[in-house]
Chain A
Amino acid sequence: MILARVTGTVTSTHKDPELADYKLLVVQPLAIDGRDEGEEMIAVDRVDAGIGDKVLVSREGTGARQVTGRERVPLQNLIIGVVDRVDFLNQTTGQE
Chain B
Amino acid sequence: MQAMCRAPNASFWQLTAPDGEDTLRAMHFARVIGRVVSTRKIEPLVGYRLLWIEPTDAEGRPSGKPLVAVDTGSYGDDEWVYYVTSREASLPLRDPFCAVDAAVVGKIDSVDRR
List chain A positions with a Cβ less than 8 A from chain B. Answer: 2, 7-16, 18-19, 24, 26, 29, 37-43, 51-52, 59, 61-62, 72-77
Complex: A16 Cα to B73 Cα, angstroms: 7
Which of A14, A18, A29, A52 is close to B13, meaning CB atoms less than 8 Å apart? A29
Are A77 and B112 in contact, with the CB atoms below 8 A? Answer: no
Are A40 and B108 in contact, with the CB atoms below 8 A? Answer: no
Candidate in B29, B63, B103, B111 with the most chain A CB atoms within 10 angstroms:
B111
List chain B positions with a Cβ less than 8 A from chain A. Answer: 11, 13-14, 25-29, 57-58, 63, 72-73, 75, 82, 84-89, 91-92, 96, 103, 105-114
Which of B29, B58, B88 is close to A76, meaning CB atoms less than 8 Å apart? B88
Are A12 and B106 in contact, with the CB atoms below 8 A? Answer: yes
Contacts of B105 in A (CB 8 A): 15-16, 19, 74
